[in-house]
Amino acid sequence: MNTTIKTVLLDLDGTILDTNELIIQSFLHALKDIVPPDFPRKNLIESMGLPLQVQLQQFSGLEDVSHLEAAYRARNKELHDELVCLFPNVLEVMETLHQAGIQIGVVTTKIRMSTERSLKFLQIPDVLGAVITVDDVVNPKPHPEPVLKALEQLEADPATTLMVGDSPVDMISAVKAGVIPVGVAWSLKEEALLWEAGARYMLKDMRDLYEIVGLERKPLAKN
């Protein structure tokens, strides 16, 4: 149990938002004329967490992927409300952390427009002290800049800050920024990859954060 944690930074996609199928469907649509029909979904999963442009360049072999980005975002917008949802217990944990005086921020490689859409659609409570998107930085994760920018906005101490994410790039960014990396076991990526990238803790349930920050976990409601 740790009673010194003052700040919790959260990745979005794959961490608090279940956008996995949305992302996969958007990629398959954008790449339909480039990759074979049996293109393995695991190839897409392995690259999740990197900026969209970088992923599309890797899959297509093209430098200019603006047309692919446009196709991806169009499909993503079309399917967003149908496929995106919150992982279990996210709202409860965010509200509990906020009530306990722990600062909360979001650090994501999504663009700001889609970030704000997701937060609004899923009715994320007004508890976020910082929202850092790929539009706000020069160097996205795994570079430490996004995490460092969130720390700056929140005036937070890296030593008392957690960075929770589902991707090795989240862990690497956290390590480089000097904060405490926390992986999530519901990641489509293997837990081993998160440990190898520097995770200090692994959440099986979002409520596992309570013990890490020094709060008691609420008992399950009786039927």
Mind telling me the catalytic residues?
Answer: 11
Question: Could you tell me the maximum CA-CA distance found in the chain, to the nearest angstrom?
Answer: 56
Q: Which two tokens stand for residue 26?
A: 């958007």
Which DSSP string corresponds to 141-185? TTSSHHHHHHHHHHT--GGGEEEEESSHHHHHHHHHHTSEEEEET
Cα separation, 138 vs 135, whole angstroms: 8
Cβ neighbourhood burial of 79 (10 Å; 0-12, 13-18, 19+): middle
